[in-house]
Every structure is written in structure tokens, then in C-alpha cells.
Amino acid sequence: MTSARTVRNRLVASVATVLAATLGAGLLAVAPAGAAGGIEIEPDAAVVAAGSTGFLVSMNRYRGDEQFWIRYDTGARTPIDEATYFHVRENSVVGDHVLLSTSSEATVRDMGTGATVLRAPLERGERPAGLAGGAMFLQSWSPTNTLRMYDAEHGSRLVTGVPDDYRFVSVRQGTATHALLQYRDSDDVEHRGTIDLATGTVAEDYAAPLAPEWEFEAALSDTRIAWKEYDPASKKWSVVVHTRGTSEKQVFEAGTHPHVAFLGDRLVHADWDATQALSPSPLNALNIVDLKTGATTRLLDHVRAVAAAPDGTLLVTGGKIGTGDGVFRVSADGDSAPTARFLVDSGRPAELAEVSDPELPSGTIDFDKQYHVPFTQYFNHKGVKYRFTIRHGRTGRTFTYVENGYVGAGDDGRYPDGIPMGWGWGGSISGPGGYMDAFNGAYTWESVAESGAGLGTTPIKRSGSFTITRTQKPHDFDDNGSPDVLARDASGILRTHDSGAVGGGWQIYDRIEATGDIAGTGFADIVARDRTGVLWLYQGNGRNGFLGRVKVGGGWQTYEHLTGGSDFTGDGRPDLVAADKTGALYLYRATGDVNAPFATRKKIGTGWGIYNQLTATGNIAGAAPGDLLARDKDGVLWMYLGKGDGTFTGRTRIGGGFGRYSELIGAGDYDRDKKNDLLAVDPATKTTYVFRGTGQRYTPFNLTRSNTLLFKGGSYNLFS
């Protein structure tokens, strides 16, 4: 699938011929066969108004800007310079005439010839209120609240019949003799009405309390006036039709923010844009109601703009499934059924479709380098019911993302690649207590996209696979990259926070220490000392469990403290250090051999009896070798920087107040900032806190602790 960054379709001589035939003789000069140029329209464009020689289009329908006048005969574009003029709306166009304005002057330009046909200086506090017939309407908010009209024949005239205390007035083209009027009175009630163009007086005035304040969607014929309303009690939209000069009133249920127009004696209404809807409805279509018989004809499947042409037909921007998306000419001759002729193709289908290459996971993804996996598909509609599910092959655990309709908060309405759905996957899957970090290994995925409005009955499905990999982490027992803390309860059950219970019977040990991968299996291991002094090795299986235990040796009861997980010797394997009851410190270098996991011990220091806890942390101070923390009997924490040869530099004071913690755990990078952190268990609050690593030599931790949810509120007698 190719990217749809700029999709344009040029319909040259053949389309020009169709336009000539459908718009009527004399309205279109047909380009000769083979002529250069043609008609271009972008996928997000919408027709604002239709004239005799061309039409006004907004290339960005979400914002209403990027406006061009496009000629029917050549497709040539004339920009409406938004840096100079306000955004032109439908009430600023009559035929080929467009009302433009600077801060000091309003002008009317004939887009067919390029000539300025009317010019009026703006008085203080004035702004354009609209264009109707041959007159521009100008509203003044100060010093007087007036509405005046200005045309070539009469010059400037005040419009009479509008209350002096009106607000928010707008005027737009209605019929040859009357303009449409919108204003809000001093009681905040909306009004719709007409202005007699010959006399400059308000001819009709209807209170419309349910009409929307900022939307002048209304229509006028020689016999009827119509506008849209919203009832907050029922939360429904409708179109109200009054027969002019009588008390007759008709009300028709309508879609959200409906378009409103007349096609001869027929009412036309449609949902504002059904491609954004999340439920199907006949009101999403272009509904054409015969006001004499009540019969409804439905043309097109979705509509985003309706513009009345000078010959009484309509140019409708929208889509018809099986035909396409773009601009249609809708007409009705006498009592014959209304028809819609496809004129300009936007290059995208009317039904839901992918329009650009997706960003989906495949191959092998290294989660040491990235935590976010792109998972985005691009569609031509916003009203998409979208979901994707990622499934881990070994465990069957899943992550499901659901998005019902696109909401682009703060976006600028530009979607050159289509509407993005999916955003991405942050690397989490379902776990025992909610979501947890995703395991390493093979995954499959599948996605489904369906049109909320039923614009296309076949769901769009995709599927694929990928693999996640990471380097082994010393405290990762379930192979998902995140540090796991082991905790044992009073009954002897050992568990991790992420994956739950490891198993029972662990009460036979008086010390359990996470060591990292010392046996060469690729997963984190532990050593456990029983109450007779025998040390046992448990090789991790990467599934929150361990293989059968292997005896390391006896006599380990001589040691007061054990800690592992740091590579003190620089050989890439985590080692073990142990302090005996005399204060001597010994190094046990890991061998990678499960049957003899440690080399003969080496004495590397004395005087360590002043400490009541040792914690191997890995690299916390910026140098490659692993480091060691030691807490003295006064609760002061000290750091010994590893040299990489099994010895340490002189100690550096980190801070006091650490005596409150029963366990200090060097679990690795807890917060994913690529710096090792320190976890601390406070038995008084039954809370595990994190001191975040800084990577700095003399201040390796931020001493402001943060709460974690690790075993929050639980009762445990051993952590590692």
C-alpha cells in the first residue's frame, strides 16, 4: 500500500463535459480534449460554496482553512489568502462573488474574472456579517449596535427591524429577493428570519430557542424557511420547516449537526459527517424529503458539506459506497426522483479502508533499546471501532487495546496519511494483579477495524508475529525484564510481585539471596542457606520458578551476611560476597558451572563487622564494575565503589536514616531510566520504597524515597 500524503485525481476533458451537461448551458466553458490542468481535490476537502464558473473548497474540513476557488473548466486554483482575509464561509459567497475583508476594508471579488466588484471601508468596530444578493452586510458592535447593507446601487443603508440589543448577527444568501438572517436577542434566544433586499427591512422573524448559536445552517425558498435545532432534553437534532406567510410548521428528525438545504420543493438534510459516527442510522445519508408527499429519497452514504449552486442544484461533498468519495451534483427535475452524479473523486473510497502503510510490529524487538512498539493503522474515517490484541505464545497472556472512534485532542486537522488508530503498545500484558511488563519470547497479534456507521460491512483484519528480547537482569525471575523482589510469608510460600507464588516449603532456609545468572542458564538464579549451614543453588527457569536445587557446600553458617548480583571481577558474571562473624569479607567468584558455581573464596577485607547489612547493587556510580552498599549499626549507608578486580575503593557516605528498613535490595533499574536503583522495605508501614539512582559518583541516589506497590500491606519475613 502506498502512502496517501497527497492524493489528487485530475478529471480533465471528460469530467468538464459532464459538468457542462449537468450544470447547464452557459455555466461552464468546456476545456478542449487534452487540455492541461483538470480538477483536483484532496481527501479531507469540502465544498464551501458553488458558483457558475467554479466552486470554493476548503482543503482542511476540520479547520475550515486552506481555501481555494477551483474553476470547473480548467481546474485552476485561486487561493483565498488566509493571511489577509478571514476564513470564508458559506454566508460570504453568492454565485461567483466572494466577500473578503481586511481590518479596514470589505471587498467583493468576482472569482470568475478576478475583478473587485464592490468595495466598502469598514467603520470603527465593524466586521462583515455576510453577503446576499448584490449587497454586503456589515455589523457594528461599537459605538452603536447596528447592521448595515452596502451595494453598488444604493450605497450604505441601515437594516431596519433588527432589535437594537441584538448580538451575533449573520446574513447569507436566500432567494433572489430575500436574504437569510440569524441573530441572538438580549434574552439569549436565537432568531432566524429574512431581510427584504429591496427595502433593507426585516421581513420575517422567527424565535428559534433550540437553534444552535454558532451554526448558521439554514435554507430559504420562495415558499419555505428551514433551520436545524437541538433539544437538550431528548438530546436529538431536528430540522424545522416553516411555510412562509402561514402558521404551517413541519419538524423532521435529523442526524447530528445536520446540513440543511432545499432542492426545489424538497428538503435536504444529512448528518454533519457520518464517517465520524459510531452507530449506523438512515439519517447519516443524504435525505431528500418531498414536502408535499412526505416521501424520502436517500442518496449517498455520508455527507460532509452541502452547497447550493446558482441553477438550483446542489454540490454535495461526501461518499457513496461502490462509487467513491468526492463531490456529487444532486438535482431533481419536477416530480422525477432526485439523482446524484459523481463529479470529482477525492482518491479514497466511500467505505472504510486503510489508506497508508501501517506501522505494525514484526521481527525481533530489543526491549533494552525501546519500550514502545509502534502499532498504528491509518484509515479514511474517524468513526472506527478498532482493537488489537497481542498474545504471548508461551503463557497465552494478552494485551488488548480498544479505541472507539478517533479523538485528536489538540491536533490541527491535518491527516495526510489518514486517520491514525492504535497509537502503539507500551510493552505490558495481563498479570495476576493487573498489567505487568511483557515477557521475552514469541508473540502473535491481530487487529480488527469496523466502521461504526456501517460504512462497509466487511471488517478490516490484520495479523502477524514478533519476538521480544532483552539481556538477562539479575532480579528478573519471570523473564520480562523488570526487577522482581522475592518475598516469603509465614507459611513458607515464596512469591514475586509480578507473577505470584513460586512455591512453598521455603521456611527451611534462613537466608535467600538473588544472585543473577551464576550458572549460565540465561536466567536469574538464587542461593539459599538452610539452618544447618548448607548453601543451595536454585537455577532460574525464566518462568517465575526454579529447577531442582544443587548443593553448593556446607559451613556457610559462619557468615553473618551474604549478598550477590554484582559483577565484582569484571568477567561478565555476577559474584557473591560474604562477611563472617569476625568481620572478614570474602569474595566468591562465579564460574558459570552449575556443579561448582563458585571459585575458592578469596579474602578481600576485614573490619566489616561494623555493618549489619550488605547489598550488592551493580553499577550505581557510573563506573562499569559492580558496587557494594553497607549499612552500619547507626543506620548510615555507605558505598564501596567496585574496581573490577574483586576489591573496592574507600567508602563514601550516602546518608543516614536507613536503620528503619529491614531489607535493602539492589534490584536493578526499577524505573527504566537505565540507572540502577535501591529498594528498601519498611516493616512499620509494610511498604517497599525506591531510592532512584542518579549514576553520580558521590551522590548515587536521590534520597527522597518514593512509594512502590511491591507487596504493599503484606506480612512477610524475608525479602530478596
Grid cell at residue 163: 432589535
The pLDDT of residue 16 is above 60: no
Contacts of 133-137 with CB under 8 Å at 24 or more apart are 133/94, 133/173, 133/176, 133/179, 133/197, 134/94, 134/97, 135/179, 135/197, 136/99, 136/106, 136/108, 137/171, 137/179
The pLDDT of residue 30 is above 70: no
Least confident range of 30-39, 133-142, 557-566 = 30-39
Confidence of residue 143 (pLDDT cuts 50, 70, 90): low
Instruction: Compute the C-alpha angle 474/607/641, nearest 5°.
Output: 40
Mean pLDDT of 208-224: 94
Q: Give the β-pairing of 460-469 and 364-366.
A: parallel
**Distances in Å between the alpha carbon of 549 and those of 232, 493, 593, 661, 717?**
70, 16, 14, 30, 22
The pLDDT of residue 575 is above 80: yes
660-719 pLDDT tens trace: 999 999 988 888 888 999 999 999 999 999 999 999 999 999 999 999 988 888 888 878
Q: Which residue has the higher pLDDT, 18 or 47?
A: 47
Mean pLDDT of 282-296: 95
The pLDDT of residue 145 is above 90: no
Please tell me the distance from the alpha carbon of residue 646 to that of residue 587, in angstroms, as a whole number: 7
The pLDDT of residue 431 is above 90: no
Q: Please give the full DSSP string across 330-351, using - where no structure is assigned.
A: EE--TTSPPEEEEEEE-SS-SS
Closest C-alpha among 278, 421, 417 to residue 355: 417
Please tell me the distance from the alpha carbon of residue 328 to that of residue 318, in angstroms, as a whole number: 7
CB atoms closer than 10 angstroms to residue 370: 10
Q: Please give the full DSSP string across 438-495, using - where no structure is assigned.
A: PPSEEEEEEEEEEETT-SSSS-EEEEEEEEEE----TT-SSSSSS---EEE-TT--EE
Cis peptide before 338 (omega within 30 of 0): no
pLDDT for the residue numbered 25: 29
Please tell me the distance from the alpha carbon of residue 188 to that of residue 374, in angstroms, as a whole number: 49
Mean pLDDT of 5-9: 35
Closest C-alpha among 682, 566, 581 to residue 615: 566
Closest C-alpha among 302, 454, 452 to residue 384: 452
351-368 pLDDT tens trace: 999 999 999 999 999 998
The pLDDT of residue 85 is above 80: no
448-486 pLDDT tens trace: 999 999 999 899 999 999 999 988 887 888 888 888 889
Q: What is the largest CA-CA distance in the chain?
A: 113
CB-neighbour burial class of residue 615 (10 A; exposed 0-12, middle 13-18, buried 19+): buried
Closest C-alpha among 509, 508, 436 to residue 477: 436
DSSP state of 376: B
Confidence of residue 81 (pLDDT cuts 50, 70, 90): confident
Closest C-alpha among 225, 133, 119 to residue 179: 133
The pLDDT of residue 3 is above 70: no
Please tell me the distance from the alpha carbon of residue 126 to that of residue 129, in angstroms, as a whole number: 9
Please tell me the distance from the alpha carbon of residue 225 to that of residue 429, in angstroms, as a whole number: 58
Please tell me the distance from the alpha carbon of residue 511 to that of residue 503, in angstroms, as a whole number: 16
Grid cell at residue 435: 498489567
Mean pLDDT score across all residues of the chain: 89
Confidence of residue 29 (pLDDT cuts 50, 70, 90): very low
Closest C-alpha among 352, 351, 348, 344 to residue 377: 352
Please tell me the distance from the alpha carbon of residue 641 to that of residue 649, in angstroms, as a whole number: 5
The pLDDT of residue 118 is above 70: yes
pLDDT for the residue numbered 335: 83
pLDDT for the residue numbered 557: 97
Contact of 525 with 515, CB cutoff 8 Å: yes
| Residue 507, φ and ψ in degrees, nearest 5 | -70, -10
Question: Which residue type is seen at 223?
Answer: T
Percent share of the chain, pLDDT over 70: 92
Percent share of the chain, pLDDT over 90: 71
**What ranges make up the beta strands (E) of 531-660?**
535-538, 550-553, 559-566, 575-580, 585-588, 602-605, 611-618, 627-632, 637-640, 652-655
Grid cell at residue 409: 485532542
pLDDT for the residue numbered 546: 92
pLDDT for the residue numbered 384: 97
pLDDT for the residue numbered 6: 34
Mean pLDDT of 253-261: 96
* SS3 (DSSP) at 500: strand
Contact of 655 with 703, CB cutoff 8 Å: yes
Grid cell at residue 433: 494483579
Residues 6+ apart with CB under 8 A from 661: 680, 681, 682, 689
pLDDT for the residue numbered 657: 96
Please tell me the distance from the alpha carbon of residue 368 to that of residue 346, in angstroms, as a whole number: 44
Instruction: Compute the C-alpha angle 375/380/384, nearest 5°.
Output: 65
Question: Which residue type is seen at 181?
Answer: L
pLDDT for the residue numbered 277: 94
Please tell me the distance from the alpha carbon of residue 80 to that of residue 709, in angstroms, as a whole number: 58
606-634 pLDDT tens trace: 999 999 999 999 999 878 789 999 999 99
Mean pLDDT of 142-161: 89
Mean pLDDT of 328-348: 92
pLDDT for the residue numbered 86: 58
Contact of 372 with 476, CB cutoff 8 Å: no
Please tell me the distance from the alpha carbon of residue 290 to that of residue 268, in angstroms, as a whole number: 9
Please tell me the distance from the alpha carbon of residue 508 to that of residue 492, in angstroms, as a whole number: 8
pLDDT for the residue numbered 371: 78
pLDDT for the residue numbered 411: 53
Contact of 164 with 150, CB cutoff 8 Å: no
How far does Cα 673 stand from its chain's mean position?
A: 25
pLDDT for the residue numbered 165: 82
Hunting for cell 420543493 — which residue is that?
265
Please tell me the distance from the alpha carbon of residue 85 to that of residue 79, in angstroms, as a whole number: 11
Helices (H) and strands (E) in the chain, counts: 1, 57
CB atoms closer than 10 angstroms to residue 360: 18
